[in-house]
Amino acid sequence: MGSEAPERGRGRTRVLVTGSAGMLGTELVRLFQREFDVTEADLGEFDIRDSVVTDAFVAGATPDIVINCAAYTDVDGAESDSEEAFAVNARGAGNIAAAAERVGARVVHVSTDYVFDGTGDRPYEETDEPGPVCVYGRSKLAGELAVSEAAQDALIVRTAWLYGQAGPNFIETILTLASSGRDLKVVEDQVGAPTNVRDLARTILELIAVGATGVVNATNRGWCTWFEFAREILDQAGYRDMPIEPVTSEQFPRPAPRPGYSVLSLARLVSLTGKEPRSWQDALTEYLAER
């Protein structure tokens, strides 16, 4: 039911974006409005934790496609607020998928590299066994399972290290510290793929266009440590002489453990879309030019 093509004879395809005010949601709305009728929904529109309320809102929007970006994203906060993290990321995600399935809409759900334990030494493929090491990761994995159970033909997009113009992010933190002249210390033992939400939004559109289902990894191409990311940010932004001290995760303790290595394989993405994502360095250049 959820995988059927939208009825284009009745007008433009209708897309519901939940979490529309977030970094990714903002880019999805901007991009999709060019060719679709978009309904935006964020906090205050309806409570995804409530299945009855969610059913009513989705039914009223009559979407052909539902893209769920709504999430509890405070990784450290989730350690002490696991009930809320699971309520939003697991039960809420399942509620949205079930509501979409009831109205015959295709389901797209956004997930994370944090579903893996980070002990690997090669890019994680979609079929690799998950093993999250923090509450946030466990709640997102539970959300994947809830979405898959509610909508068998759902598209689940796993991504990583997001940044964008609509919200605070690592890049802005680094540049704020640099401009204030404060000492910079950045962890060098966590490896991942910085991802521009503008590229991710385009990729989601391409995956929808080719009818992709199941789990698909989507990030910018290449990978680095947080330290290397920070160094590239400073170099591109004109702070080449600004020193950074590399530190270990143990030297920079956080409430939630992070996977040490969470690079995602892009092989399935390339096979589906026929396109290689641009490098994280090029995506960073565009972001800095527009800020």
Neighbours of 118 (CB within 10 A): 21
Ramachandran angles phi, psi of 219, nearest 5°: -145, 175
Question: 220: buried, middle or exposed (CB in 10 Å: 19+, 13-18, 0-12)?
Answer: buried
> CA-based angle 2:20:88, to the nearest 5?
70
Compute the distance between CA of residue 213 and CA of residue 179 in angstroms, rounded to an integer: 44
| 136 a catalytic residue | yes
Query: Are 231 and 199 in contact, with CB atoms under 8 Å apart?
Result: no
Structure-token match 């923090």, residue found: 134
The two beta strands, 162-163 and 195-196, are: parallel
Short-list 15, 13, 3, CA closest to 106: 3
- List residues bridging with 170 in a β-sheet: none
Both tokens of 285, joined, read 């250049």
Q: Which residue is catalytic, options 72, 114, 124, 136?
A: 136
Compute the distance between CA of residue 254 and CA of residue 261 in angstroms, rounded to an integer: 17
Both tokens of 176, joined, read 């704020």
Compute the distance between CA of residue 189 and CA of residue 247 in angstroms, rounded to an integer: 8
DSSP 58: H
**Count of positions (residues) in the chain:** 291
Residue positions annotated with a catalytic role: 136
